Amino acid sequence: MSGTGQWTWMWCRLVGADLMLVSEVAEPMSRAQALAAVQSALDMLPDGALARQWRAAPVKDDTVFTPTAEGMSLWAAIPISDGQTPGDAARAWLDDWAGQLRSAGMPVNVAQPKRG
The DSSP 8-state label assigned to residue 31 in this structure reads H
In a domain, 84, yes or no: yes
Number of domains in the chain: 1
CA distances from 35 to 10, 64, 110, 112 (A): 10, 11, 23, 22
In a domain, 47, yes or no: yes
Q: Which helix (H) or strand (E) holds 63?
A: strand 63-68
Question: What pLDDT digit, counting tens, does each position of 87-112 carry?
Answer: 999 999 999 999 999 999 999 999 99
In a domain, 30, yes or no: yes
Percentage, residues of the chain above pLDDT 70:
89
pTM of the model: 0.83
Containing structural domain, residue 99: 6-115
Neighbouring residues of 9: CB distance < 8 A, sequence distance ≥ 6:
25, 26, 29, 34, 35, 37, 38, 41, 75, 76, 77, 78
For residue 25, pLDDT beyond 70? yes
In a domain, 1, yes or no: no
In a domain, 82, yes or no: yes
